[in-house]
Amino acid sequence: MAVRLVPPSETLTAPGLLLRRWRSGDVRAIVRAVQASMPELSRWMPWAVEGYGATEARAFLDQGRQQWDESQAFNYAIVRGGDVVGGASLMARVGPGALEVGYWVDSRHTGRGVARRAAAALAAAGLAVPGIDLIEIHHEPANAASAAVPRALGFERVDDIVNEDGRPTGVWQLHAGRLADSRIPDLLDQRRYR
């Protein structure tokens, strides 16, 4: 029998960002961000295909609701200045006691620390879920922008694997006992340990 996770909060914050559970009214915002970012996203995200539109966005939102209800994934819109500028997720697909953080950012908003701050908020929220003591970030080794995120947060590079899509993947980990030593508390203005 699978363990049912206690979901994290439906809203999380990081300096200058709000992460909130996706809403049914976000279809246009998703389509706008994905279409504006297609050249970059299509290199790394199998779901980012030409013609991505309202049908695909609705399917994503429907699947996300089901995944949230089944504690398989907790998907968030990344909101900056009132605009949806990307998406981020906590996914229960890396094994018991662990969650994987995933993220993408609208190309018009990259280079501003959005992915780093969103990943920090998700890692902290994930480690607060009862029974979770490990957060992982996976990315293709050639994706330098994605690799910069776990490195900047203090994750440890632990492995290179081939993922379920047959793509090479770098694996980074942060154990709960290392959270206080990571850069996450400082980045989220939550430094409790000195």
Query: Quick check: is 142 in a domain?
Result: yes
**Residue 193 belongs to a domain:** no
pLDDT for position 157: 96
Torsion-angle region of residue 111: left (phi > 0), alpha (psi -120 to 50) or beta?
A: left
How far apart (Å, rounded) are the C-alpha atoms in residues 57 and 39? 18
**What are the residues whose beta carbons fall under 8 Å from the beta carbon of 23, sequence distance 6 or more?**
61, 77
Least confident range of 45-49, 125-129, 143-147: 45-49
* Residue 25 pLDDT > 70: yes
Decide if 116 contacts 187 (C-beta within 8 A): yes
Tokens of 28: 């246009």
CA 174 – CA 154 distance, rounded (Å) = 8
Helix (H, G, I), strand (E, B) or coil at 54: helix
Distance CA(132)–CA(92), nearest Å, equals: 10
pLDDT at 40 over 60: yes
In this structure, is residue 2 part of a structural domain? no
Q: What is the pLDDT of residue 39?
A: 85
Residue 194 has pLDDT above 50, yes or no: no
Inform me whether the pLDDT recorded for 165 exceeds 50.
yes
Residue 71 lies in a domain: yes
Q: Is residue 192 part of a domain?
A: no
Mean pLDDT across the chain: 92
- Interatomic CA distance for residues 97 and 105, integer angstroms: 27
The answer to the question of residue 57 being in a domain is yes
Residue scoring higher pLDDT (141 or 99)? 99
**Which CATH number goes with the domain that contains 68?**
3.40.630.30
Q: How many domains does the chain have?
A: 1
Q: Domain range spanning residue 105?
A: 12-187
Q: Which tokens in the block code for residue 77? A: 């819109």
d(CA 102, CA 140): 12
Assess whether pLDDT exceeds 90 at residue 120: yes
Q: Is pLDDT larger for residue 190 or for residue 172?
A: 172
pLDDT digits over 42-89, tens only? Answer: 788 888 888 999 999 999 999 999 999 999 999 999 999 999 999 999
Average pLDDT over residues 7-29: 96
Residue 72 placed within a domain: yes
Residue 3 falls inside a structural domain: no
For residue 117, the model assigns a pLDDT of: 97
Higher pLDDT, 159 or 133: 133
